[in-house]
Structure 1
């Protein structure tokens, strides 16, 4: 198979491999779209059908019918993530971009476009920039993140505690991580909700993605200017003052990277953890009694519903073979983290407990593995502990089967978690 193109061998492969088995969300040329209403309705079915047709690596279309390879196999995902010399994160070698087929206004650009940050580079430039990020994240952790989470968690709960009912997505998980991040970044608390909305819209893609990205950059640009004049003990000041000597563009790009990634993944993961706790009463009872800790629940969610379903993206540095497909230099690959975690080759029975096994793909892998795992874990564990302590009798207010989620190319987010509990006064 040659490189993914709308008019080339991709179509031949789709027809030859299908064996008459239709794929939902198919474009006119026979390729499968990872975006749009049909793809959003049932992404797991699409992953399964693609695996059945193509195996561990499948040709797909992203927004704007941009061709890419979706990596479905666990081992193939690991190979791509662990080998930056073969699969670079530098989108400047993306052939469709080089040859002018991707507009600068494409909704893919906020997710895939090159920036002067550690995610967009490999080798020594990556190590230099990543060092600045990890040093400052570790400094924040040392100062104590949990007190900020406790403060904002109680503040969120105070808004609905006396009502005896709430939606734990819209009134808790959707905004809590961003409120914590505003404090860690040195931003005004009032910016939190607007930034959370822009981050969510950017991940959804669509025509507003670029505008929301510009809004985020404007806020962060103003923040960096303020912190140069009045530094403090926050992540922004730490980047500005770091010995790696980041320039202005590098500072802004890393503020954007950490803000968007940390908020979107943590808010989605928090909602999924709450869903698992509330739909499996043994988990809830175990947490309340102290026989189970939150980290075990988080680990289970990381395997079965990771916060990023599909990770953007890698670019082949040379012609090579992956999962039985012939990948061409400059081809775009996107990493199916959910599909890889559920790969029947490594999990023939997805219902079997994976307790204690942290080999999931949810944090990525290799040189670009997420450096903010500890921050996210602290936010989620504290948020769950505060919620269970504050709201006795917490339970779902709707049958578990009626909980719905909305998917985009990159993630699948719960729409709502309606709950009931014994009404409580606001915290003093």
Structure 2
């Protein structure tokens, strides 16, 4: 990879000594000076992204328009695409806004232990960062691997595992529905269809959560996740079965073990993580909004409505890195340089006043949200349908088994996880009338 050119220096226009929006974390030592556009940029992390991200996006839009300068962990400059139309433009024009992460001109300044490195992926062979015909062939293999999952078997397995998890706390009368339910259900369901054991599913779930939180141990967690997937691929090469991993191996366009492992990591993480937060966010909405009270007495009519509203208002996939302009260009009024890092703001785009001028208007029946991405790198339809099947089965099973479930703390005391990438609760403590376990 060629040596990236340094960003333009901001030295000619000194900023105030301590502007309020300067990064709270120390800058990476090897970074070039910030460009003028980023000298007072907001850091894409911190308490406000936990408590009021929608307000942060509104302020950024008012100040900068549909594309805003932001700083990532360590003071790394990037552009956050806030506008609905601009997100569509970026995801539709793969020639101008490439998914090839090797184009980022700051790689030489990024240390190996940078917590966001697993999300951006220098030199990874993952399908996330392929382009053109190579991407299309590998996407076809992934789609065929997922298409082989029988939807009726998926629903049945989801209900069975949901009942098993509920059995673990139903006699107690209280639970944390995030730790004991939402973050376990998708992983355990997917583990079965991918060929993981339940104990392996627990380990990869922890690794994925750590990666998405951008924790200091994110790089180590990615390595652990990689090892688990490599071992599974090796086992399925020797003893293939009727599982998604075996189908992925048999349909790989190159047969490369590294490519298969990387694509398996993407398939599992992209299916588990957003689905877990979709379950948690929907349960929170139904427990805190009186519009959904009927569902809490055992009915199911409002579950689909609540799930749809979450994808508009609290989408699990908040921000996704990244895209890189292949040449200098202008987007949303901002001048971008070739190799700049773009972060797609799905949550901000879903509330763009250009497409939703009245946020009070119901989104029921409207599925034009960008929560599953868009374009050739968006989530395939088979993945969306599987996520909805698992999430809906989990929510309905819980409401059927625990019809009087209620929050155990005031709604305002609920805490969101500290990730600007995923939107989900750190915990969802509830209480309910203790009930018996199922016999099955």
User: If the length of structure 2 is used for normalisation, what is the TM-score?
Assistant: 0.89
Q: In 2 relative to 1, CA 246–22 (structure 1 residues): closer, same or farther, beyond 3 Å?
A: same
Alpha-carbon offset, residue 207 of structure 1: 2.2
**Equivalence for 1:175:** 184
Alpha-carbon offset, residue 313 of structure 1: 0.7
**Contact (CA 8 Å) 1:11, 1:30: kept in 2 or not?**
no
**Contact (CA 8 Å) 1:4, 1:331: kept in 2 or not?**
no
Cα deviation digits, residues 338-365 of structure 1 (max 9, x gap): 1111112222221210111111010011
Alpha-carbon offset, residue 37 of structure 1: 4.7
Alpha-carbon offset, residue 292 of structure 1: 2.0
Listed as ranges, the gaps of 5+ residues in structure 2 are 28-38
User: Is 1:214 aligned with 2:216?
Assistant: no
User: Which residue, out of 70, 76, 87, partners 2:97?
Assistant: 87
User: Which residue, out of 401, 405, 413, partners 1:390?
Assistant: 401
Cα deviation digits, residues 368-402 of structure 1 (max 9, x gap): 11021011101001001111111131222222222
**Equivalence for 1:77:** 87
User: Which residue, out of 7, 10, 21, partners 1:8?
Assistant: 10
2-structure distance, mates of 1:244, 1:333: 29
**Contact (CA 8 Å) 1:89, 1:313: kept in 2 or not?**
yes
Alpha-carbon offset, residue 47 of structure 1: 1.9
**Equivalence for 1:240:** 249
**Equivalence for 2:352:** 343
Where do 1:298-313 residues align within 5 Å? 298-313=307-322
2-structure distance, mates of 1:415, 1:24: 27
Alpha-carbon offset, residue 246 of structure 1: 3.3
Q: In 2 relative to 1, CA 230–142 (structure 1 residues): closer, same or farther, beyond 3 Å?
A: same
**Contact (CA 8 Å) 1:86, 1:318: kept in 2 or not?**
yes
User: Is 1:102 aligned with 2:110?
Assistant: yes
User: Is 1:33 aligned with 2:35?
Assistant: no
User: Which residue, out of 356, 359, 384, partners 2:365?
Assistant: 356
2-structure distance, mates of 1:316, 1:167: 43
2-structure distance, mates of 1:94, 1:117: 16
Alpha-carbon offset, residue 412 of structure 1: 2.6
User: Is 1:126 aligned with 2:135?
Assistant: yes
Alpha-carbon offset, residue 175 of structure 1: 1.3
- Secondary structure of the 2:149 match is helix
User: Is 1:408 aligned with 2:410?
Assistant: no
- Secondary structure of the 2:321 match is strand
Cα deviation digits, residues 250-289 of structure 1 (max 9, x gap): 1100111111111111111110011111112331405756
2-structure distance, mates of 1:329, 1:8: 18
Alpha-carbon offset, residue 5 of structure 1: 4.6
Q: In 2 relative to 1, CA 235–54 (structure 1 residues): closer, same or farther, beyond 3 Å?
A: same
User: Which residue, out of 387, 392, 398, partners 1:381?
Assistant: 392
**Equivalence for 1:18:** none
**Contact (CA 8 Å) 1:23, 1:46: kept in 2 or not?**
no
1-structure distance, mates of 2:368, 2:431: 35
Alpha-carbon offset, residue 206 of structure 1: 3.1
- Secondary structure of the 1:180 match is helix
**Contact (CA 8 Å) 1:4, 1:59: kept in 2 or not?**
no
User: If the length of structure 1 is used for normalisation, what is the TM-score?
Assistant: 0.91
**Contact (CA 8 Å) 2:67, 2:82: kept in 1 or not?**
yes
Alpha-carbon offset, residue 184 of structure 1: 1.2
**Equivalence for 1:53:** 63
**Equivalence for 2:274:** 265
1-structure distance, mates of 2:221, 2:206: 9
2-structure distance, mates of 1:194, 1:118: 23
**Equivalence for 2:35:** none
2-structure distance, mates of 1:422, 1:270: 21
1-structure distance, mates of 2:288, 2:432: 15
The alignment of Structure 1 onto Structure 2 pairs a total of residues equal to 418
2-structure distance, mates of 1:165, 1:391: 10
**Contact (CA 8 Å) 1:313, 1:332: kept in 2 or not?**
yes
**Contact (CA 8 Å) 1:308, 1:410: kept in 2 or not?**
yes
User: Is 1:112 aligned with 2:120?
Assistant: yes
